[in-house]
Structure 1
Amino acid sequence: MTLAAAAAYDELELEFIPPFDWTRMLRFFSGRATGGVEAVHEQVYYRTVKVDDATGLLSVRRDPQRDVLIVRVEGEARHHLDRMTPRLVRLFDLKTHPDAVRQGLTQDPWLASLLDNAPGLRVPGAWSGFELVVRTIVGQQVSVKAATTIVGRLVQRAGTAATEPSHPLTPWHFPTPYALAQVNLDKIGMPGKRVAALQRFAQAVADGEVDIDNDEPDIATLRRQLLDMPGIGPWTVEYAAMRAWRDADAWPATDLVLMQAIARRMPELTRKVDQLKHAQSWKPWRAYVAMHLWNEIADQMGLARGG
């Protein structure tokens, strides 16, 4: 890990253990990018960032010759690159040992083709647990595309415009918990109960009741707190655990795409209870099985389905 300074930006190199499927990771991010806040363009991931009162533009690309990601932060936020590093490691799942995942899943023969097809697949993370849970609440019972559209509207209603430096595709900062809790979301495109659940969650984070973005999250407590909130169910919590809290064994069992994918491969497992029982054999790597199944559908359909 090396750090180099320039007049308007700092760069950081983050190592990973190959194989690392950068193309599929960017495909996942691209299909779910928060409009105006993050984007994928020409094999580079971009997003606006804010650390305390310092703002900036983050860009991440893979080095074509070495097993490193090159992170660049422009603007005043570059002075806090060390504080961003844990988030970056989670965002790109850089601590994973691909061989450990493979060895842990080879006991199930029908996973072999998935692992062979995408040996460097990772679980894409999240820059912000708050941002991800907001998106996940919005995404309940709607398509990935619809959720992306609605989150983009939330950003324009409650977010703040980015100042220089910025990228043409990322002119906004994501709303703060307080701003999202207070903004009028009438006619945003969500049912009233979902709006209430979203703003209830945002208020709890704003009040410090839910410590959603700790670098060392208390996953058990977060699971309990979110499940206790009306309008937030197991699918939302498990999806957040997969991506924001880096729980390698998180399993969004009620995800329709996952259920269909499993039933298609094993027709005897059409019932959720039977799928849950079989999935026990995938512990402690169930989050990676979910990603491989979603990835298979995306490969076949050419769409950002699942997650």
Structure 2
Amino acid sequence: MRLAYQPPYDWAAMLEFLSARAISGLESVEAGVYRRSIRLAGQQGWISVAPGAGDWLDVEVDFPDPAVLPEIEWRLRRMFDLDAQPERINATLARDPLMAQLVAARPGLRLPGTWDGLELAMRAVLGQQITVVAAIRLAGKLVAQYGQPLQTPHAAITHVFPTAEVLAAADLATLGMPRARGRTLSGVAQALLDDPQLFAPKAGLKESVARLVALPGIGDWTAHYIAMRQLREADAFASGDIGLINALAALEGGPVSARQLLARAEAWRPLRAYAAQHLWASLGRRD
């Protein structure tokens, strides 16, 4: 399968982002190739994604039901932000002098998405108030204990992400996290069972965030992070994110508060999510 995109495309930056967040047993990044297990319609398989010789990504799919190939393609296009229009995005952000510098440095930077809404929500909740490394370690424990084993030709891909049914019934605090966070994880899984459209795009960013913060344990940062990567809301912006605050402070040479960052971000509408990705990239990390 070939998935075309409009250049430029910063595959190295995308791979760096995914590699830093690769969950043990679920996904891997090796020799410039991203691989992961997938589940659709109750069946399991795996995919492999690598840059093609032209303006496309080469995708290998191993899945028992070819009827779901269009769904796989749709998810991958969102995950790798293949329908973005770099020229329009860059021109809009470059109206701000600071963003003009960042865009010039990384003109092909994309906004990484995700394969699955529940998985992304679990990642976001696990990442509350701890480092990316610590969150991914917990996610690996979750996959190993509650995920379904999967046989693949790749030693690093051994499990499929747990289902909402399993996570809703589990005592996830036993994985080594605050009990309240474990309840939030199970609560999000139950909310998805109650509303299968929980992670589907809404009418707009305001409605998307409002639906998410209504869930116990989901605050503004988590809601905007989910809106950015799963709901593909281009103007989502987690103003309280310490990485964004530190990036702006470093770039502008002075202390910055969350309130000041939010005010500064008005100049980046309606593409604040892409601005956030540039800020994270400026620090050499993407939280």
Q: TM-score range by the shorter chain?
A: over 0.9
* Alignment partner, residue 296 of structure 1: 282
Note if 1:283 corresponds to 2:269. yes
Out of 8, 17, 29, the position equivalent to 1:19 is 8
Contact 1:49 1:77 (C-alpha < 8 Å) held by counterparts? no
Q: What are the Cα deviations for residues 83-127 of structure 1, in whole angstroms up to 9, with x where unaligned?
A: 212111100001111111111011211222211111100011000
Give the 5 Å matches for 1:98-109.
Answer: 98-109=86-97
What are the within-5 Å matches in structure 2 for residues 83-122 of structure 1?
83-122=71-110
Match status 1:140 vs 2:128: yes
RMSD across aligned C-alpha pairs, in angstroms?
1.6
Out of 186, 192, 212, the position equivalent to 1:226 is 212
Task: Determine the C-alpha separation between the residues in 2 that align with 1:130 and 1:282.
Answer: 29
User: What is the rounded CA distance, in whole Å, between the counterparts of 1:37 and 1:72 in structure 2?
Assistant: 16
Select which of 172, 185, 195 maps to 1:185.
172
Gap change, CA 1:252 and 1:198, over 3 Å in 2:
same
The correspondence of residues 36-185 of structure 1 with structure 2, limited to 5 A, is 36-63=25-52, 65-163=53-151, 165-185=152-172
Paired letter, 1:193:
A
Tell me the distance in 2 between the aligned counterparts of 1:129 and 1:267. 37
Aligned to 2:238: 252
Give yes or no for the alignment of 1:242 onto 2:228: yes
Separation (CA, whole Å) in 2 of partners of 1:49 and 1:230: 28
Give secondary structure in 1 for the equivalent of 2:91. helix
Q: CA deviation at 1:59?
A: 0.7
Aligned residue pairs, count? 286
Cα deviation 1:186-238 (Å, max 9, x = unaligned): 4312111111111111111123x252344x55555442222012211011011
Q: What letter corresponds to residue 16 of structure 2 in structure 1?
A: R
In the superposition, the TM-score normalised over structure 1's length comes to: 0.88
Q: Which residue identity is paired with 2:273?
A: A
CA gap 1:279/1:19 in 2 versus in 1, 3 angstroms? same
- Equivalent AA in structure 1 for residue 99 of structure 2: L
Partner deviation per Cα, 1:218-264 (whole Å, 9 max, x = no partner) = 55544222201221101101111111111111101000010111122
SS of the equivalent of 1:14 reads strand
Aligned to 2:258: 272
Query: How far apart in 2 are the matches of 1:15 and 1:290?
Result: 25
Q: Does 1:197 align with 2:174?
A: no
C-alpha distance in 1, partners of 2:189/2:80? 25
Contact 2:171 2:182 survives alignment (8 Å): no
Q: Residues 200-219 of structure 1 correspond to what in structure 2 (within 5 A)?
A: 200-207=187-194, 209=195, 211-214=197-200, 216-219=201-204
CA distance in 1 between counterparts of 2:254 and 2:44 reads 52
Distance in 2 (CA, whole Å) between partners of 1:290 and 1:218 is 22
Which structure 2 residue ranges, 5 or more long, are not aligned? none
Please state how far the C-alpha of 1:134 moved relative to its aligned partner: 0.6
The secondary structure found in structure 2 opposite 1:58 is strand
Between the aligned residues of both structures, percent identity stands at 37
Alpha-carbon distance in 2 for matches of 1:78, 1:72: 13
User: How does the TM-score come out when normalised to structure 2?
Assistant: 0.94
Give, in whole Å, the separation in 2 of the partners of 1:186 and 1:259: 30
Equivalent-residue separation in structure 2 for 1:40 and 1:77 (angstroms): 25
Runs of 4+ with >4 A deviation: 216-221
Give the letter aligned to residue 183 of structure 1. Answer: A
Q: Distance in 2 between matches of 1:306 and 1:141?
A: 15
Counterpart CA distance in 2 for 1:189 and 1:114 is: 39
Query: Structure 1: where are the runs of 5+ without partners?
Result: 1-11, 299-304
Q: Which amino acid aligns with 1:133?
A: A
